[in-house]
Amino acid sequence: MSPLGAHSFGLVWQHDAARAVALLGGRGFTRFELLAMPPHLDSRNLSAAAKRALIAAIDAVDGRLLALDLPSNDINLGSTAAEVVNFSCESYVALLRVAAELRATWVVVLPGRRHGLLPPPDGRLVDIVRRAFDTLVPEAEKLGVRLLLENHPQSLLPDAAGIAAFLQAQGYPNVDAVYDVANAFAIDEDLVGGLDRLRPYLAMVHLSDSPAGQWKHDPIGSGAIDFVAVRDRLLSMQFSGPVVTEIVAERALERLVEARAALQVRGWRFS
């Protein structure tokens, strides 16, 4: 498989994005996904100097910026409040512009959020998301950045089947899917089946561990996820896209390094 990538999620309170990339690069990572959350990376107010520093940090390790993504609690493309959708679209457009400047391949997008207690009994929220994508898809295409739709337990499309159906129905030319195995595990989705359903759209995989029945992004090997089964399915699919480990834990830098070794013990091989 391609080199194992690292997500900066677990480093956002300790380091800015350039420093996080430098630290990860010093430990052998050359593929990066960055959370666009201030003060780690403020996509609306990122200075020219900060952009240059981040590009320099990536170039210093002959690296590649895979994707940028926004924190899920700050945005909602599926809100019934128009001002919330407008803010979310504006935030994604600002991120797309930064992604283009930083030479990122993708911007990760969550397909709206649903209320856990009383979601609407019909598809009105997904219709709102579709209208939001009418803004984001052409903007991304104009900037040369692709969108990456992620499964998420709190989203309107939490499972692989929902994301696959949405993408098939819309036929977007520049929207791919990322499958987060811990997010899928949290809703008790069969991981092998989820990968199969997303196969036509799958461009990236997120790896982290979790105990059964919980939503975590724990160190690899500390939970109940079957990474051998995930590996075997990706190999049988001849998947060649990036695999990114996303650990949210204390001493996240060390946990990311340990994740690479833990995956190798389970038969994963990265170029």
Say how far apart CA 127 and CA 141 lie, in whole Å.
21
Residues in the chain: 271
Neighbours of 85 (CB within 10 A): 21
Residues sharing a CB contact under 8 Å with residue 68, sequence separation 6 or more, in sequence order: 33, 34, 35, 36, 41, 43, 95, 98, 99, 102, 104, 106, 107, 108
pLDDT for 196 beyond 90? yes
Residue owning tokens 């791919």: 176
According to the model, what pLDDT value does residue 138 have? 98
Lowest mean pLDDT among 98-102, 114-118, 179-183, 250-254: 114-118
Say how far apart CA 17 and CA 41 lie, in whole Å.
6
Helices (H) and strands (E) in the chain, counts: 9, 8
Residue 125: which H helix or E strand, with range?
helix 124-143
Confidence of residue 121 (pLDDT cuts 50, 70, 90): confident
Rounded to a whole number of angstroms, the CA Rg of the chain reads 18
Domains of the chain: residue spans and CATH: 5-265 (3.20.20.150)
Q: Tell me the per-residue pLDDT of 214-242, one tens digit each, with 9 for 90 and over.
A: 999 999 999 999 999 999 999 999 999 99
pLDDT for 14 beyond 80? yes
> Judging by beta carbons within 10 Å of its beta carbon (0-12, 13-18, 19+), is residue 66 exposed, middle or buried?
buried
Widest pairwise Cα distance in the chain: 51
Task: Provide the angle, in degrees to the nearest 10, between the axes of the packed helices 160-170 and 191-198.
Answer: 10
Say how far apart CA 247 and CA 55 lie, in whole Å.
23
* pTM, to two decimals: 0.96
pLDDT for 26 beyond 80? yes
Q: Tell me the per-residue pLDDT of 134-189, one tens digit each, with 9 for 90 and over.
A: 999 999 999 999 999 999 999 999 999 999 999 999 999 999 999 999 999 999 99
